[in-house]
Structure 1
Amino acid sequence: MRAALYDRYGSPEVLYEGTLAKPVAGPGEVLVRVHAASVNGGELMGRAGKVRLVTGLAGRGFPKRMGVDFAGEVETLGSPVPGLTEGDRVWGTMARSQGFGSAAEFVVVRPRQLALAPAGLELVRAAALPGVGTTVITALRDKARLAAGERLLVRGASGGVGSVAVQLGRAYAAQVTALASAKNLDLVRDLGADEAFDYATTGAADLGPYDVVLDTVGTELSAYRRLLAPGGRMVSVAFDNRRMAASLSYIAGSTVFGSRRVRFFSGNPRHQLFAELTRLTESGAIRPVVDSVYPLADIAGAHRALEAGGVRGKLVVDVRASRAVSPG
């Protein structure tokens, strides 16, 4: 099968479309024919060799693979799975123990790692949601316990996570304030933000107070934590790559602030989260925001684009495409 691979750590140019043996579903496993996968920030760090302790263990040497989430169809079942049959449209993510690997024609996963994809949503566009969607549900519903009428600040609101957070905040009946670049303010308003500010001209000192702050940037955590009202909660789903140790130390040390500490988590979603994301998408509460779609052969181009910044929503890799694909 075709798959996105790399034989050494480095820039996006180390990525290429290679060939691996087609996997086989064993008992209790599902073989998925992948239509598309998205590109995530963690993959950039893995490819560059910035988290070798993790990628070394999961990948077990070179060549290493790319891709966390996927949307596709059930090819075969290793054993019967209630509610799942061959040909079903599904979406999900690789298990944390598997590492990367969804940017390929086929993946093998456990049934708990997927759910039926939303009816009526084209699978290439659907691939933009499993990773970021389940992250946002966990952040706002489970970690922050966002309630109707509360004030929510989304930092990095036009990106992959942020664009979903604005929509889910609206669905939860919160008052949503979005921070994004000037060119993306109309986008985040269209997604449901009550207020939208240009981060280049509006800093932490110009904002607040908020009941919940969702940070997707990872810098200036202390400044944004100070915007929390009494009983407020802050969740960060990113950290400053240039000052990783300092960022992690601050998150750990923030526990002294009690309920106003900075919450951070590493996602490893299960079936119930994917099923909830399907429900929210089918209800119209959440829709994918796709910046551009790349063929598998140009996986390097997708990584270059994400590293360059300014991406609106998600970059998607169409595994089936054999040539360049028009922006989504």
Structure 2
Amino acid sequence: MKAVQLTGYGTADVLRINDVDRPAPGAGEVLVSVEATSVNGHDVRVRAGELKLVSGRRFPIGAGLDFAGVVAATGTGVDAYRTGDRVWGMVHPRQRHSVAGAAEYVVVPAERLSHAPAELSSGEAASLVVAGSTALIALRDSVRLAPGERVLVRGAAGGVGTAAVQLAHAMGGRVTALARDRHAEVLTGLGADEVLDYGSTTSDRIGPFDVIVDTVGTQLPSYRARLAKGGRMVTVGLSPSALAVIAASSVHGSRRVRTFSANPGTPVLRDVADRVASGALRPVIDGVYPLADIAAAHRAFERGGVVGKHVVTVPRGSL
């Protein structure tokens, strides 16, 4: 089978489509015939060598965090899935994989899967695995958004941002989206009550907010200062400076900055699928690339300035 692997750390040029043995599922595992994956910040950070403590220095390393496709086989002890079931899921982000989501087949433990939303194509589903799960955990579990609260989504045009705008709106929040001005129409259509141009809007001129969802990871003290009394802030854009602010906020003051590493299992994936079925969440896709052009998808992600996700499809027999 074909699988995208890293031959070293660096730019998108290190991505290679290699011939590898098709894996077989062990006990409690599922073999998925992958139809689509997407590009996430985690994928780019692994490729650039920023997560060497996890991915290590032995090559090749598999690329692709999430996937959507069809069950090809199951190992012993797996009762929840049958061959032919449409599923979505992700490999473990804190483990090294020689074959990951950007491949024709991938093996994962059954608890890292859920049945994919029937309303979505595999490409649409892949775009929401990480984005939808991250936004849901941030709003529901980390900051516990309540109806009527004022919400700022910073980096609202990205994958997690577009999902957070939709979910915050569906949960009854009054949503302000901070993004490029040219994305205002799309974000309003997703549920934003107000869209502010990040290029001309300084943090000291907005707010206060009850909840801030940050997907950027910079200038956290400035935005933390825009929290109302009892306000909560969560960031998923981690950097060394962001980690320092998070640590300091847990000691000083009541306006704590939270973070987490999205690592959804079956229950969270089911919850995201329910939000899709209810109409509260829909995919937002900026571009679709065949697996052979995954390096172009990585480059587009790094250029930024888009709305939603970059999806990579996995056609059979055309590579």
The verdict on a shared fold, with TM-score over 0.5 as the criterion, is: yes
Render the CA deviation track for 1:147-200: whole Å, top value 9, x for unaligned: 111111000101000000000001101100000101111111010000111001
Contact 1:218 1:247 (8 Å CA) reproduced: yes
Give the AA of the match of 2:213.
L
Task: Name the SS for the 1:9 alignment partner.
Answer: coil
Aligned to 2:45: 45
Report the counterpart of residue 87 of structure 2 in structure 1.
Answer: 90
Which residue of structure 2 lines up, in the alignment, with residue 128 of structure 1? 127
Verify the 8 A CA contact 1:295 1:322 in the aligned structure 2.
no
Alignment root-mean-square deviation, CA: 1.5
1:191-270 aligned at under 5 Å gives the runs 191-239=190-238, 244-257=239-252, 259-270=254-265
After TM superposition, the structure 1 stretch with the greater mean CA deviation from structure 2, 205-214 or 117-126, is: 117-126
Identity value in percent: 50
1:87 is paired with a residue of what secondary structure? Answer: coil
Cα distance between partner residues in 1 of 2:228 and 2:119: 41
Which residue is equivalent to 2:31? 31
How far is the alpha carbon of 1:65 from its aligned partner?
1.4
* Pairs within 5 Å for 1:1-328: 1-56=1-56, 61-99=58-96, 101-239=100-238, 244-257=239-252, 259-320=254-315
What is the alpha-carbon distance in structure 1 between the residues aligned to residue 237 and residue 279 of structure 2? 27
Query: Following the alignment from structure 1 to structure 2, what is the Cα–Cα distance between the partners of residues 78 and 321?
Result: 23
AA in 2 matched with 1:36 = A
| Structure 1 residue 43 displacement after superposition | 1.4
Describe the SS at the equivalent of 1:96. Answer: coil
Distance in 2 (alpha carbons) for counterparts of 1:112 and 1:147: 29
Q: How many residues align?
A: 317
Deviation at 1:322, TM superposition (A): 7.0
**Could you say if the C-alpha distance between residues 259 and 268 of structure 1 is closer, same or farther in structure 2, counting changes exceeding 3 Å?**
farther
Q: Tell me if structure 2 keeps the 8 A contact 1:295–1:321.
A: no
Q: For structure 2, list consecutive stretches of 5 or more residues without a partner in the other structure.
A: none
Post-superposition CA distance 1:2-26 (Å, at most 9, x none): 1111211111111121111101001
- Distance in 1 (CA, whole Å) between partners of 2:115 and 2:292 is 27
Q: TM-score, normalised by structure 2?
A: 0.96
Q: In 1, distance between residues paired with 2:172 and 2:316?
A: 39
User: Aligned partner of 1:301: which letter?
Assistant: A
CA distance in 2, matches of 1:153, 1:99: 35
Counterpart Cα distance in 2 of 1:220 and 1:309: 19
Aligned equivalents of 1:280, 1:82: Cα separation in 2: 25
Contact 2:39/2:298 (8 A) holds in 1: yes
Q: TM-score, normalised by structure 1?
A: 0.93
* Distance apart, 1:55 and its partner CA: 1.4
C-alpha change, 1:315 and 1:141, in structure 2 (3 Å) is same
Say which SS state the counterpart of residue 107 (structure 1) adopts.
Answer: strand
- Partners of 2:131 and 2:38 lie apart in 1 by 10
- Structure-2 separation of matches of 1:28 and 1:83: 10
Distance 2:19 2:146 in 1: 48
Q: What is the letter of the counterpart of residue 125 of structure 1?
A: E
Gapped regions of structure 1 (runs ≥ 5):
none
- State how far apart, in whole Å, the 1-side matches of 2:317 and 2:206 are: 47
